């Protein structure tokens, strides 16, 4: 690959309703979309999922935009790139900032797959023709409201329901859902809202037969997660804590959890997600693919990575209309029951909807 030009789009994609986590209530998915153009004319697309404010990790959109524009894109222009994962050596001097790295890595994988006449799933080594999805529900106003929301998704056929929690909106909320649905596959996602001082409350969640509690403690604290996991029956799933293969190895050694939510954006792209998944499957760690309220660009990459055999649990890959009235790809991602069918088209399998992309773009830049 030999990148001759790059287009950057700063996009504000409105959510069809606010999504509340323990750290924020979001009304828009604010992201950066990249279009890389190879010298043979092949186009590849990637997305930086950095949020407007660095709630989730150290990255934020304005910083990602500038880092891509001033540092990262110039490093890949007009040089030979043999494989998408060459970027990990090229950008070894840049600490963290995995979401910016992911945008470039995913766009290069898109080009690479197209140039090899393969779907992105095939290029990555996937073996599934469809991937199962679960649903993620933001924090609700009351236990009754949460039960109502869950009821709708259970009726739609979803097997795995993930519910966001935070102190004061946790045990009673999930207990109400468990009472209504005694056999449902339920999990709680804390987004690092708790500390070890909350251990007695977290131990109460053991009574609710959850398949996992996701990221209860601070992102970088594998030691406290190990202390907590030793006292919980429920499996801990790590999200923000796993940003590299090294983190996954430490998680196993310390027994900090039993499950990994692999987010392509968080770990730096498809190549690193594939390495972490390989390590997990070799060591008996279950995995699933998480998301960042992604636009269709990143969502399509998530579908492809979830076709790998190590993704053993339902994924956070919803239909476009789950979060958006309109998306920026065509066709939009749709559900077949509670599954997403894997595209048979080369590359990402979806094309940008340039009309919608222009509609929601608040800034753009072209680099040659």
Q: What is the pLDDT of residues 127-148, one digit of tens each?
A: 999 999 988 898 999 999 999 9
* pLDDT band at residue 23 using 50, 70 and 90 as cut-offs: low
Q: What is the overall mean pLDDT for the chain?
A: 95
**Average of per-residue pLDDT across 339-355:** 96
Provide mean pLDDT across the span 183-203: 95
Indicate the length of the chain as a whole number: 368
- Which uninterrupted H or E stretch holds 228? helix 222-231
pLDDT of residue 322: 82
Bridging pattern class, strands 286-289 and 339-341: unpaired
Q: What is the pLDDT of residue 277?
A: 96
Q: In sequence order, what are the residues at sequence separation of 6 or more whose Cβ sits closer than 8 angstroms to the Cβ of residue 193?
A: 22, 23, 165, 166, 167, 216
Residue 24 has pLDDT above 80, yes or no: no
Q: Which residue has 């972490």 as its token pair?
A: 276
Strand ordering across the sheet containing 286-289: 135-137, 160-164, 185-189, 212-214, 236-238, 259-262, 286-289
Would the pLDDT of 112 be above 90? yes
Q: Which residue has the tokens 């494989």?
A: 83
Cα–Cα dist 176/144, whole Å: 7
pLDDT at 157: 83
What pLDDT does 21 receive? 72
Q: Give the tokens for residue 364.
A: 């753009």
Residue 186 token pair: 């339920």
Q: How do residues 311-345 score in pLDDT, each as one tens digit?
A: 999 999 888 888 899 999 999 999 898 899 999 99
Which is it for strands 43-48 and 329-330: parallel, antiparallel or unpaired? unpaired
Helix (H, G, I), strand (E, B) or coil at 43: strand
Helix (H), strand (E), coil (C) string for 289-307: ECCCCCCHHHHHHHHHHCC
Strands 3-20 and 160-164: unpaired
Average pLDDT over residues 71-83: 97
Q: Please check the confidence at residue 64 and state whether its pLDDT lies above 80.
A: yes
- Rounded to an integer, the average pLDDT of 89-115 is 97
Catalytic residues: 164, 263
pLDDT above 90: percentage of residues in the chain: 89
Q: Which two tokens stand for residue 256?
A: 């900090």
pLDDT in tens, 252-284: 999 999 999 999 999 999 999 999 999 999 999
Is 65's pLDDT higher than 70?
yes
Q: Is 337 within 8 Å of 134 (Cβ atoms)?
A: no
CB 162 within 8 A of CB 316: yes
Q: Are strands 25-38 and 3-20 parallel, antiparallel or unpaired?
A: antiparallel
Least Cα distance to 243 among 112, 97, 134 occurs for: 97
pLDDT at 22: 61
For residue 187, is pLDDT > 80?
A: yes
Taking the C-alpha atoms of residue 167 and residue 169, their distance in angstroms, rounded to an integer, is: 5
8 A C-beta contact, residue 228 and residue 199? yes
Q: What pLDDT is attached to residue 29?
A: 93
First and final CA of the chain: distance in angstroms?
A: 15
- Of the candidates 295, 303, 290, the residue with the CA atom closest to the CA atom of residue 324: 295
Report the pLDDT averaged over residues 224-249.
Answer: 97
CA distance 54 to 19: 16
DSSP-assigned states of every residue in 142-198: SHHHHHHHHHHHHHHT-SEEEEE-BTTBSHHHHHHHHHH-TTSEEEEE-TT---GGG
Over residues 237-259, mean pLDDT:
97
Tokens of 229: 């996991």
pLDDT exceeds 80 at position 25: no
Kindly report, residue by residue over 154-183, the tens digit of the pLDDT: 988 888 999 999 999 999 999 999 999 999
Give the three-state DSSP class for 37: strand
Q: What count of other Cβ atoms lies within 10 Å of the Cβ of residue 137?
A: 19
Q: What is the pLDDT of residue 167?
A: 95
CA distance 206 to 255: 18
Long-range contacts of 329-338 (CB under 8 A, 24+ apart): 329/295, 329/296, 329/297, 329/299, 329/300, 329/353, 332/296, 333/296, 333/299, 333/300, 333/303, 335/133, 336/130, 337/157, 338/132, 338/133, 338/156, 338/157, 338/158, 338/159, 338/314
pLDDT(359) > 90: yes
- Per DSSP, the three-state class of 348 is coil
């Amino acid at each position: 690959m030999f990148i001759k030009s790059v287009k950057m789009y700063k996009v504000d994609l409105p959510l069809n309703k606010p999504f509340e986590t323990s750290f924020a209530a979001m009304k828009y998915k604010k992201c950066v979309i990249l279009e890389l153009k190879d010298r043979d004319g092949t186009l590849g697309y990637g997305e930086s999922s950095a949020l407007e404010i660095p709630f989730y990790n150290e990255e934020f959109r304005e910083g990602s935009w500038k880092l891509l524009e001033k540092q990262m894109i110039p490093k890949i222009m007009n040089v030979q790139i043999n494989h998408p994962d060459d970027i990990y050596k090229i950008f070894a001097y840049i600490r963290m900032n995995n979401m910016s790295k992911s945008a470039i890595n995913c766009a290069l994988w898109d080009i690479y797959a197209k140039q090899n006449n393969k779907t992105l799933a095939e290029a990555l080594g996937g073996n599934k023709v469809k991937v199962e999805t679960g649903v993620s529900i933001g924090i609700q106003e009351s236990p009754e409201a949460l039960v109502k929301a869950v009821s709708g998704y259970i009726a739609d056929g979803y097997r795995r329901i993930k519910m966001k929690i935070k102190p004061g909106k946790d045990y009673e909320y999930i207990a109400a859902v468990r009472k209504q649905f005694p056999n449902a596959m339920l999990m709680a996602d804390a987004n690092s809202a708790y500390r070890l001082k909350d251990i007695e409350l977290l131990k109460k969640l053991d009574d609710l037969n959850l398949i996992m509690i996701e990221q209860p403690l601070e992102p970088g604290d594998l030691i406290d997660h190990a202390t907590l996991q030793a006292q919980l029956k429920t499996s801990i799933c790590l999200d923000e804590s796993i940003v590299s293969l090294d983190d996954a190895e430490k998680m196993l050694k310390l027994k900090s959890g039993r499950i990994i939510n692999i987010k392509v954006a968080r770990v730096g792209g498809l190549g690193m997600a594939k390495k972490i998944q390989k390590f997990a499957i070799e060591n008996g760690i279950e995995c699933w693919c998480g998301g960042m309220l992604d636009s269709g660009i990143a969502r399509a990459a998530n579908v492809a990575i979830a076709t790998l055999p190590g993704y053993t649990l339902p994924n956070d890959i919803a239909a476009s209309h789950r979060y958006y009235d309109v998306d920026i790809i065509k066709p939009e991602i749709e559900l077949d029951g509670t599954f997403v069918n894997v595209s048979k088209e080369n590359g990402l399998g979806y094309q940008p909807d340039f009309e919608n992309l222009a509609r929601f773009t608040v800034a753009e830049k072209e680099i040659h």
